[in-house]
């Protein structure tokens, strides 16, 4: 039996609110293999982003654990192990588009020619002409594609993305879908939280988050 790249066991997460606590995750289980693309659906507020934060090591569960290649995570792993594309994007505002995408490769060389890898990803996502601009000088939908390029540039073993097509028009979406599929084809475990049926359509497996647990769609 092979070890899943990403394995969540019995995850529980409760948020405290003055009006009453909310238990968002209630013993959630998830296992994703290398090369698998899994989409997570669920109503707004069902806990998709909270789940990604736990899987990416940005938040800690109240109970349960997350294993990466069989080992418990201890905080957020490095980008080449697990890359996260949050809804807020998190681009470095003082770096250009190209410098943002190059960052994971500068921090840990992957053997790729940096200029070539960055150029190829920006070109693929239709934002190559913005390479020398700063994030504040491009639209939010363009920033979203830049942030995806940055997330994948270091060839992470796990890619977690939150609503990666939320700000895109129909013409820009296929390139993003193609890149997500390509990451999986190159061996990454890809998990996408989304409301977009076009993203669900390219999944190997679809799960739905409701009442704090996942079920297969
Ligand atoms: N840091 C936090 N503190 C308190 N409550 C939180 C926190 N993060 C999330 N929540 C609450 O947890 C629930 C799940 O939020 P989450 O953002 O994970 O939902 P979601 O499924 O990603 O929603 P959407 O589809 O709208 O992005 C919501 O009720 C939210 O208010």
Strands (E), 2-138: 6-15, 22-32, 37-41, 63-68, 71-72, 82-85
Which alpha helices (H) appear in the chain, and where do they start and end?
48-55, 97-107, 114-124, 140-153, 173-185, 197-200
Residue closest via CA to ligand 1's atom 26 equals 44
Domain parsing of the chain, residue ranges: 33-58+74-216
Residue 163 Cα to chain centre, angstroms: 9
49 alpha carbon – ligand 1 mean position (Å): 6
CATH pick for 33-58+74-216 out of 3.40.50.300, 3.40.50.620, 3.40.1160.10, 2.60.120.260: 3.40.50.300
- Confidence (pTM): 0.95
Ligand 1 neighbours (beta carbon < 6 A):
15, 22, 24, 42, 44-50
Residue closest via CA to ligand 1's atom 3 equals 15
Please answer whether residues 42 and 28 qualify as being in contact, where contact means their C-beta atoms are separated by less than 8 angstroms. Answer: no
With the most atoms of ligand 1 within 8 angstroms of its CB, the residue from 13, 20, 24, 42 to mutate is: 24
140 alpha carbon – ligand 1 mean position (Å): 21
Residue 137 and residue 209: Cα distance in Å, rounded? 36
Mind listing the pLDDT tens digit for each residue in 83-95? 999 999 999 999 9
Tell me if residue 132 falls in helix, strand or coil.
coil
Predicted-complex ipTM score: 0.97
Residue closest via CA to ligand 1's atom 17 equals 49
Burial 151-169 (b: 16+ CB within 10 A, else e): bbbbbbbbbbbbbbbebbe
Q: Which ligand 1 atom is at minimum distance from the Cα of 209?
A: 21
pLDDT of residue 111: 86
pLDDT of residue 178: 97
Residue closest via CA to ligand 1's atom 1 equals 15
Stretches in the chain below the pLDDT threshold 50? none
Residue closest via CA to ligand 1's atom 5 equals 15
Please answer whether residues 124 and 178 qualify as being in contact, where contact means their C-beta atoms are separated by less than 8 angstroms. Answer: yes
Quickly tell me which residue has 């470095």 as its tokens: 92
Please answer whether residues 123 and 157 qualify as being in contact, where contact means their C-beta atoms are separated by less than 8 angstroms. Answer: no
């Amino acid at each position: 039996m092979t070890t899943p790249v990403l394995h969540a066991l019995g995850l529980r997460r409760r948020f405290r609110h003055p009006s009453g606590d909310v238990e968002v995750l209630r013993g959630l289980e998830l296992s994703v293999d290398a090369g698998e693309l899994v989409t997570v659906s669920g109503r707004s507020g069902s806990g998709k982003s909270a789940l990604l934060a736990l899987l990416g090591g940005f938040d800690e569960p109240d109970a349960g654990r997350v294993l990466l290649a069989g080992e418990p995570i201890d905080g957020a792993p490095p980008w080449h192990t697990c890359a996260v594309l949050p809804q807020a994007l998190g681009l470095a505002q003082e770096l250009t588009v190209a410098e943002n995408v190059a960052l994971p490769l500068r921090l840990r060389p992957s053997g790729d020619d940096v200029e070539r890898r960055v150029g190829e990803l920006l070109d693929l996502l239709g934002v190559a002409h913005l390479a020398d601009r700063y994030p504040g000088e491009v639209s939010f939908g363009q920033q979203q594609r830049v942030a995806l390029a940055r997330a994948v540039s270091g060839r992470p073993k796990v890619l977690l993305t939150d609503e990666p097509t939320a700000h895109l028009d129909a013409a820009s979406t296929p390139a993003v879908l193609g890149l997500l599929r390509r990451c999986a084809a190159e061996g990454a475990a890809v998990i996408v939280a989304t409301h977009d049926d076009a993203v669900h359509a390219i999944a190997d497996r679809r799960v739905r988050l409701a009442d704090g647990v996942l079920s297969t769609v």
